[in-house]
Structure 1
Amino acid sequence: MDDKTQAPVVQAPEWIIHPDASRWASAIASASADALRSDLAFGDGARLLVSGGTTPAPVYRALTLHGLDWGRVRVALVDERWLPPGDTDSNAELVRETLLDGLAAAARFEPLLMPDRSLDETVRAANRMARPASVALLGMGPDGHTASLFPQAPSLAQALGANEDYISFDAKGCAGAGAWPLRISITPAGLAKARHRLLLVRGEPKRRLLERAIAGSDALELPVRALFALPGQPLQIHWCP
């Protein structure tokens, strides 16, 4: 088994505590906008990696209020459920509804799902399109998964040790995957290329889970631990009650 799945070198994350959900969303949006603005000032463009789920939606809505050169920003997903393109349960639809609006409507969106492509073809296309991101906005489930890296899944060890940015992921038998066990997910190798990585969490149960994750090192038990071993800037954990 790859060493990355057994004993990652843990880098202490930076905790940023917010008093309430409104200021939590506003602060994360501002930090993300600052990272994008910096890359836009010194390069040809910027790239924003975003996650699905209900937690980040207020952040995306707050981000649409920031005046950036959105036409030079590419928005991509860290993961996706294997569904028909346009399915209302897809992460892409959440992003379209909450982020690609207002000032951010000019951003260029790169969904993972495309018509008439097999899962393998979709993963190959995702890896061709992958580029280093200015900022990656990540979440964590109550089982310790991040992106679509679910604990105890058949594909987890392979994903943690992969060199590719994206892989297909089989989460069969994982309760956290719900009705969508087949996924496309970014890997730790893909996230390592992001200049800033922000983990968006709310509530005491997730705070306790993160404290437990930081105290250990087995990413097979809690895949979120893989984020602590990535090079570059330490992970920022943005938490509110």
Structure 2
Amino acid sequence: MPTAFSSDRVEFIAHREADGWIEAVAADMAKILNADIAEHGRARMLLSGGTTPAPVYQALAELDVHWDRVEVSLADERWLSPQDRDSNAHLVRESFLQRAEGAHFDPLVRIGKPLPECVYTANLQAQYSLPPSVVALGMGNDGHTCSLFPGSRDLQRALESTLPYAALDATGCPGSNQWPLRITLTPHGLRACRQRLLLLRGKQKLEVLQHALDSNDVQQYPILAAIDQPGPRLRVHWAD
């Protein structure tokens, strides 16, 4: 359990062990989706890639949700084919969609379409869809979330965008690994989400989050773009 973490800018929930963390996050997401299905008849959620949330998606798919009333898309994506094993679309398909029968998936990358057209389509899709009920976010050790990488040449433009999605070139940013070209949610897109969840594991990630809150520098810690938004506070689910 964390020994020192406190902030009135986030809702922080610590879990004692990994299995409890997985079950709690999945249950939280299901509750949010079911509430919007009850109110609006449908719900929409945005998922992130990475190994941390995969077991949560597996558990979520087994819960009692009318998946045929749920639209699924991504918080961000590498400039890769949705069939590429390194794409976020592939991870979501393997960990969630194959188990959640009936859920509709809108990838961010469209095969055969150039990057600007994919971004245009993602923004058009967001414009004519329900506001996302929930977005599941991760955070890198560099303080990035979605594909908002500190030091990237397009970061300021993405932070100032009035559209939900933007293209971003993270060439030279270690956290982007060998996939610098990205499509990412912007702060404008994050603001539209009814509930923002941050899924964290390990003491190092908790320290990064604390440093971000102490710094108030969104250029150095883009995770702040998910924190400093109107509406419900970012809900952080953490386990060691």
State whether residues 11 and 230 of structure 1, in contact with CA within 8 Å, keep that contact through their aligned partners in structure 2.
no
1:129 maps to 2:118: no
What does 1:147-158 align with in structure 2 at a 5 Å threshold? 147-158=146-157
Q: Hey, what's the Cα distance between the residues in 2 that align with 1:162 and 1:11?
A: 27
Q: Hey, what's the Cα distance between the residues in 1 that align with 2:155 and 2:58?
A: 32
SS in 2 for 1:197: strand
What code does the residue aligned with 1:114 have?
R
State whether residues 165 and 189 of structure 1, in contact with CA within 8 Å, keep that contact through their aligned partners in structure 2.
yes
State whether residues 82 and 88 of structure 2, in contact with CA within 8 Å, keep that contact through their aligned partners in structure 1.
no
SS in 2 for 1:183: strand
Q: Hey, what's the Cα distance between the residues in 2 that align with 1:37 and 1:44?
A: 9
SS in 2 for 1:136: strand
Give the C-alpha shift of residue 11 in structure 1: 6.7
- Report Cα offsets for 1:59-96 as digits up to 9, x if no partner: 10110111111001001000000012311110000000
What does 1:70-149 align with in structure 2 at a 5 Å threshold? 70-102=67-99, 104-130=100-126, 131=129, 132-149=131-148
Alignment correspondent of 2:3: none
Q: Hey, what's the Cα distance between the residues in 1 that align with 2:81 and 2:38?
A: 37
Give the C-alpha shift of residue 114 in structure 1: 1.1
Alignment correspondent of 1:3: none
State whether residues 82 and 90 of structure 2, in contact with CA within 8 Å, keep that contact through their aligned partners in structure 1.
no
Alignment correspondent of 1:53: 50
Q: Hey, what's the Cα distance between the residues in 1 that align with 2:74 and 2:54?
A: 14
Alignment correspondent of 1:44: 41
Q: Which has the higher contact order (CA 8 A, sep 6+)?
A: 1
Q: Hey, what's the Cα distance between the residues in 2 that align with 1:74 and 1:11?
A: 32
In the alignment, structure 2 segments of 5+ residues that lack a partner are 1-6
1:23 maps to 2:20: yes
Alignment correspondent of 1:6: none
Q: Hey, what's the Cα distance between the residues in 2 that align with 1:116 and 1:58?
A: 31
Alignment correspondent of 1:169: 168
- Runs of 4+ off more than 4 Å: none
Q: Hey, what's the Cα distance between the residues in 2 that align with 1:61 and 1:97?
A: 9
In the alignment, structure 1 segments of 5+ residues that lack a partner are 1-9
Scaled by the length of structure 1, what TM-score is found?
Answer: 0.94
Give the C-alpha shift of residue 199 in structure 1: 0.2
- Report Cα offsets for 1:130-182 as digits up to 9, x if no partner: 14100100000010000000001001011111100000000010000000000
Alignment correspondent of 1:7: none
Q: Hey, what's the Cα distance between the residues in 1 that align with 2:31 and 2:86?
A: 30
| Amino-acid identity (%) | 47
SS in 1 for 2:109: coil
What code does the residue aligned with 1:126 have?
A
What does 1:196-207 align with in structure 2 at a 5 Å threshold? 196-207=195-206
State whether residues 140 and 146 of structure 1, in contact with CA within 8 Å, keep that contact through their aligned partners in structure 2.
yes
Q: Hey, what's the Cα distance between the residues in 2 that align with 1:92 and 1:107?
A: 14
State whether residues 99 and 105 of structure 1, in contact with CA within 8 Å, keep that contact through their aligned partners in structure 2.
no
Scaled by the length of structure 2, what TM-score is found?
Answer: 0.94
Deviates most, 84-93 or 142-151: 84-93
Alignment correspondent of 1:217: 216
Aligned length: 231
